[in-house]
Structure 1
Amino acid sequence: MIYRIYPNIKNFLMLHLDGDKAREALGEDTDFYMDERPISYLPNWNIMEVAFLDAFGGGNKEIPDISANVGRLFLSEKAYKLLDDQLDGYGEMLPVIYESGTGYIFNCLKVIDANEQQSMHDPLSDKFSVVFDENLDELNVFKSGIDFDAHFCNESFKRIVEENNLTGISFSVDIGNPFPEELGMRNTH
C-alpha cells in the first residue's frame, strides 16, 4: 500500500525554510526555500540554519522528529538514525542546524510519473487525484511530478515511523488530497 506523508501541524511545529538563510548557505540565486522540485543541492551545500513555526500561530508545540514542507523532509538525529537505510538511494541528506541541535533535510530525488489521464492537481478548484499505473509498494519514499510538494511512502517506511514513535508526520491512503481536513490542513491553506 502507498501512503501520502503529511506534516502533523495540529500537534507539532512545522519546518520553516527562510530565504535569507538559504541564500547565505547556497548563494544569492538559490530558490531552495521555495522550490519544491527535485534538484540536487548536495554538491554546493553548506550547513543551513532552519526554524520551526506553529502553522496555526501561538500555542506551545514541540519540534517534531520529522517535518514536511516545501517538498522536503526534516529529520532529527533520532529520525535520521532510524530512517537513513530506508532513504538511502532515494535522495540526499543535507545537514542542518536548528535551535535544538542538528538534523537533516531529506531532499527526495526519486520521482514517479502519475497517470496523466486519471491524475489532477488543481489547487484553485480544489480538484485533486493521484493515480499511479505501477505497483510502487517496493519504493520506500518518492515524489510525483504532478505534485512535487508531496512525499509518498510504502508500508515499511510507515511502520518504522510508527513503531519508533517518531513525531511530526501523519499518513493517509488518500494520496491525492494535499489538504486533508481531518489533519487540520484545510484551515492553514
Structure 2
Amino acid sequence: MSMYRIENQGFDYQELDLEIDDIIDQFPDYMSTLYIHDFSKNNLALTPYWKPVATGFSEINGNENLLPDITYWIGGTLVLSPVAYRYLGELIRPHGEFLPVHIDGQTYYIFNCLETINSLTGVTPLSKPIVKNQNEISENLYCNAHFKSAIEEFDLKGISFCH
C-alpha cells in the first residue's frame, strides 16, 4: 500500500482551541512540563491522566472558518468529530488512544497515535492505517491508502494527503 503524509487541508478550517498548558494540571507532579509538552515525541499514552475537557474551535481571521470533520491538534494527534469517530474509530483504535473533548454539546475525540516507525527511508509500503515517524521533529502522521480511501469515501473534510 502507498504511504501518505497527513496535512491540514489549508486554512479554511477552524483549529481546536486547546493547548497542552490547558490540561497540564491533569498530569502527576513527577512528570516535567517539558516531558508533557513533548508527549507525542515521547510516545506518552495520555489515557491514564486524561479528564474530558470542554473547549471549542478557534476562528482564523480572514478565512472561511469551516468546522473540520478531522484535523490535526498537536504533534502526532488528530481531532475527530463524532461523525469521523464513527467512521474511523475501529480502523485506527489499535494504533493509538481516543481522548474525549466536549465541544458545543457534542463529544469529539483527540486521537493520540501511539504507533511509531523509526524512519521513512527505505520503508516498504505502509501496512498500518496510521503511524508517526519519531525521527522527525515535526512528528508528522502518515497513513496508508486504506485510511486515505476511508476519508474520501466518507467525505470527511479537514485534512489532505501528500504522497
Q: CA deviation at 1:51?
A: 3.2
* TM-score, L = length of structure 1: 0.72
Structure 1 residue identity aligned to 2:40 = E
Check if 1:170 corresponds to 2:155.
no
Deviations 1:59-89 (A, max 9, x none): 3412201011322100011000100121021
- 1 CA distance for matches of 2:117 and 2:20? 28
Gaps of 5+ in 1: 115-130, 174-189
Alignment of 1:149-164 (within 5 A): 149-164=139-154
- Which residue in the other structure is 1:107 paired with? 112
- 2 CA distance for matches of 1:100 and 1:12? 20
- 2 CA distance for matches of 1:96 and 1:33? 18
- 1 CA distance for matches of 2:25 and 2:66? 26
Q: CA deviation at 1:20?
A: 4.5
4+ residue segments displaced more than 6 Å = none
Gaps of 5+ in 2: none
* TM-score, L = length of structure 2: 0.83
Q: CA deviation at 1:138?
A: 1.4
Structure 1 residue identity aligned to 2:92 = L
Check if 1:65 corresponds to 2:69.
yes
Q: CA deviation at 1:101?
A: 1.9
- Which residue in the other structure is 1:8 paired with? 9
Structure 1 residue identity aligned to 2:146 = S
- 2 CA distance for matches of 1:34 and 1:62? 29
CA contact (8 A) 1:5 1:172 kept: yes
- 1 CA distance for matches of 2:80 and 2:10? 16
Judged with a 3 Å threshold, the aligned counterparts in structure 2 of structure 1 residues 33 and 22 are, in CA distance, closer, same or farther, namely farther
- Which residue in the other structure is 2:122 paired with? 133
SS of residue matched to 1:160: helix
- 2 CA distance for matches of 1:19 and 1:41? 11
* More displaced stretch, 74-83 vs 37-46: 37-46
Structure 1 residue identity aligned to 2:129 = N
Aligned residues: 156
Q: CA RMSD in A?
A: 2.3
